[in-house]
Amino acid sequence: MKSVVLAIESSCDETAAAVLLGDRVLSNVVAGQDVHARYGGVVPELASRAHQGNIVPVVSEALRLSGMTLPDIDVVACTAGPGLMGALLVGTSFAKSLALALGKTLIGVNHMQGHILAHFIRAGEDQPVPSFPFLCLTVSGGHTQLVLVKGPLAMQVIGETLDDAAGEAFDKAAKLLGLPYPGGPQVDRLADLGEDSRFKFTQPKVPGLDFSFSGLKTSLLYQVKALERLQPNARTVHLNDICASYRKAVVDYLLAVTTRAMHQTGVRTLALAGGVSANRLLRAQLQEIAGREGWKLFIPPLAYCTDNAAMIGMAAAFLHESGISHGMDLKPMARMEY
């Protein structure tokens, strides 16, 4: 019997709820939080308050759209970490109360594991899913990781960023260029209109399979300042070319480290996860490399790449299958290992 999972995600600035029947998504509701835009980044206290306001309507809507009622639910799942403590507290407290009141199984999920297991959500029988082992490049606003996935619950981080995440590298560049938050999609859009060889960025040099993005951002700042000494409105005049050159630098760098990791591990399947998966150049370049190298490439639909609760439900289904559940002492964790 496939279990029905009601999942809640509240680790950052999206309040999300989803209902799954096995690996099928019956509903997937996400409420964003516009309140952060005017601060140019997520304000943790405002995120917690928005989650409190959103959680009841979002969960109700997910239930309504799924056609399920509370008694139909087998498992109540929530993101236990990593994330903003106040934001996680809203989701975990809500899930715990619901599971307790209904007498249902409670499962706390690692958000990063959720991003990876989103690849196993199926829209139909014939939809292929990655086979183990595979490598997952997770690129979001908070994380950049290369994870060797040996099984649904056997994951090993073999590389990660030592400073900014890939999404942060885009967001900080966008802020410097005067573009609204979150800037990743804006940089991507303007980059399509620009010339990517106009400005040069040296690739960061980090040993092993780790990443560092802070140097690229600093290099952008210095280049913009140098341009402005010659031409005060350079930032605006060269905006598209700057975006194109910077996007190329970030994507080339992500691909170089990922390719090294694929060669080192000998794995032939690559999966992409996290909000930066939306980047058009990254997707196109990955398709090209995968074709050349003969890798199988998996990129989930965008709705399952950015933060969502369906991925948390999918991870919970795997945990449930393995007999893992949590008690009322489940604690949210700002940092959480695999």
Q: Provide the 8-state DSSP code for 326.
A: B
91 belongs to the binding site for ligand KG4 (CB under 6 A)? no
First vs last C-alpha separation in the chain: 28
CB of 268 to ligand KG4, least distance (A): 26
Among 20, 276, 315, 330, binds ligand KG4 (CB under 6 A): 276
Q: Which option in Zn ion, ligand KG4, none does residue 184 bind, with CB closer than 5 to 8 A by kind?
A: ligand KG4
171 belongs to the binding site for Zn ion (CB under 5 A)? no
275 belongs to the binding site for ligand KG4 (CB under 6 A)? yes
Among 81, 182, 215, 332, binds ligand KG4 (CB under 6 A): 182
Among 134, 170, 213, 304, binds ligand KG4 (CB under 6 A): 170
Name the one range near ligand KG4 by CB under 6 A: 24-32, 84-92, 155-163, 271-279.
271-279
33 belongs to the binding site for ligand KG4 (CB under 6 A)? no
The C-alpha R_g of the chain, in whole angstroms, comes to 20
Show the binding pattern over residues 67-106: x = contacts Zn ion (CB under 5 A), - = does not. Answer: ----------------------------------------
Give the Cα separation of 313 and 326 in Å (integer).
15
* Nearest C-alpha neighbor of 3 from the set 239, 286, 319, 299: 319
Q: Which option in ligand KG4, Zn ion, none does residue 167 bind, with CB closer than 5 to 8 A by kind?
A: ligand KG4
Is 194:244 a contact under the CB 8 Å cutoff?
yes
60 to 79, contacts with ligand KG4 by CB under 6 A?
Answer: none
Q: How far lies 314's CA from each of 93, 133, 147, 179, 266, in Å?
A: 20, 18, 18, 35, 27
Q: Provide the 8-state DSSP code for 230.
A: H
Name the one range near ligand KG4 by CB under 6 A: 19-27, 95-103, 163-171, 202-210.
163-171
> Which DSSP string corresponds to 168-189?
HHHHHHHHHTTPPSS-HHHHHH
Among 138, 140, 245, 279, binds Zn ion (CB under 5 A): 140
Among 25, 113, 148, 171, binds ligand KG4 (CB under 6 A): 171
Give the Cα separation of 100 and 252 in Å (integer).
49
Give the Cα separation of 137 and 146 in Å (integer).
5
The count of C-alpha atoms lying within 13 angstroms of the C-alpha of 125, restricted to the half-sphere facing its C-beta, is 0
The residue ranges that bind ligand KG4 (CB under 6 A) are 12, 140-142, 167, 170-171, 182-185, 188, 274-276, 278-279, 306-307
